[in-house]
Amino acid sequence: MKNTPFDLAGKVAVVTGSSRGIGRASAELLAKLGAKVVISSRKADACKEVADGIVKAGGDAIVIPCNISRKAEVEALIAGATKHYGKVDILVCNAAVNPYYGPLLDIADEAFDKIMGSNVKSNVWLCAEAIPQMAERGVGSVVIISSIGGLRGSTVIGAYGISKAADFALCRSLAGEWGPKGVRVNCIAPGLVKTDFARALWEDEARLKQRCAHTPLRRIGEPEEIAGAVAYLASNASTFMTGQTIVIDGGVTTAAV
């Protein structure tokens, strides 16, 4: 990949929620393209497995555990990454939660606050720690993993959709604020992807069959199919792109039902 705009040699990436799913696939691809990667999620042992795999393949990765709902841990994540590698060039805000599945008006306050705190406020915290140092160098890229749940209504994950719609707005505002300093902020909105996180949606055979029937590609996605867009947004291939959302959903949001 050297001498291509996708070459990430010399770059440092922090990827939250990178012990599995989209976060793991993204971290592994960024490392393969030359980036030094910080693997992070709540469980250090799960992160170590990913980091060890990257190192074994010839890459450079370290583990810094972080519960994104705790501000002190978010601050320690970016500070630790900066201390070890000297900087953070790429921030991938991937970690998210969805503790509630059911009618929106039945959600408990605690669950609603947890969703908004982990899926929106934590991204503000992460950006507040990482973006200023990017701006000092005049270059940097933030990628927020949102969801098509922020584009469409849902009868079972409505609060999650609200949080993901908020991420679109967060992205646009930060792009406007920090673009003059050379920092880009973009979103990715995946459709249904085969991850542990979305298991409740794709393990339901009837629901999965219906979803596939209404998806032009007639299937759900794999984590690796989102990682390519993360690499694009992190790299010099996308240097004129900011404030945008890339939808990767097999065409489901474009299809007539």
pLDDT at 257 over 90: no
Q: Is position 100 annotated as part of the catalytic site?
A: no
Q: For 118, which DSSP code?
A: I
Average pLDDT over residues 210-225: 92
Residue 256 lies inside a defined structural domain of this protein:
no
Catalytic residue selected from 85, 100, 160, 232: 160
Give 200 or 161, the one with higher predicted confidence.
161
Reported as a single tens digit per residue, the pLDDT across 221-249 is 999 999 999 999 999 999 999 999 999 99
CATH of the domain at 199: 3.40.50.720
Residue 75 lies inside a defined structural domain of this protein:
yes
Compute the CA torsion angle 223, 205, 158, 77 (nearest 10 deg): -30
Average pLDDT over residues 47-64: 98
Q: How far apart are CA 170 and CA 114, in angstroms?
A: 18
Q: Which domain holds residue 77?
A: 12-248
pLDDT at 86 over 90: yes
Give 196 or 26, the one with higher predicted confidence.
26
Residue 175 lies inside a defined structural domain of this protein:
yes
Total domains, the chain: 1
Residue 2 lies inside a defined structural domain of this protein:
no
Residue 3 lies inside a defined structural domain of this protein:
no
Q: How far apart are CA 121 and CA 162, in angstroms?
A: 13
pLDDT at 194 over 90: no
Residue 254 lies inside a defined structural domain of this protein:
no
Q: Is residue 27 left, alpha or beta, with left meaning phi > 0 and alpha meaning psi from -120 to 50?
A: alpha
For the sheet with 245-248, list strands across it: 60-63, 36-40, 12-16, 90-93, 140-145, 183-190, 245-248
Reported as a single tens digit per residue, the pLDDT across 101-125 is 999 999 999 999 999 999 999 999 9
Residue 128 lies inside a defined structural domain of this protein:
yes
Residue 253 lies inside a defined structural domain of this protein:
no
Average pLDDT over residues 174-178: 98
| % of residues, the chain, pLDDT over 70 | 97
pLDDT of residue 106: 97
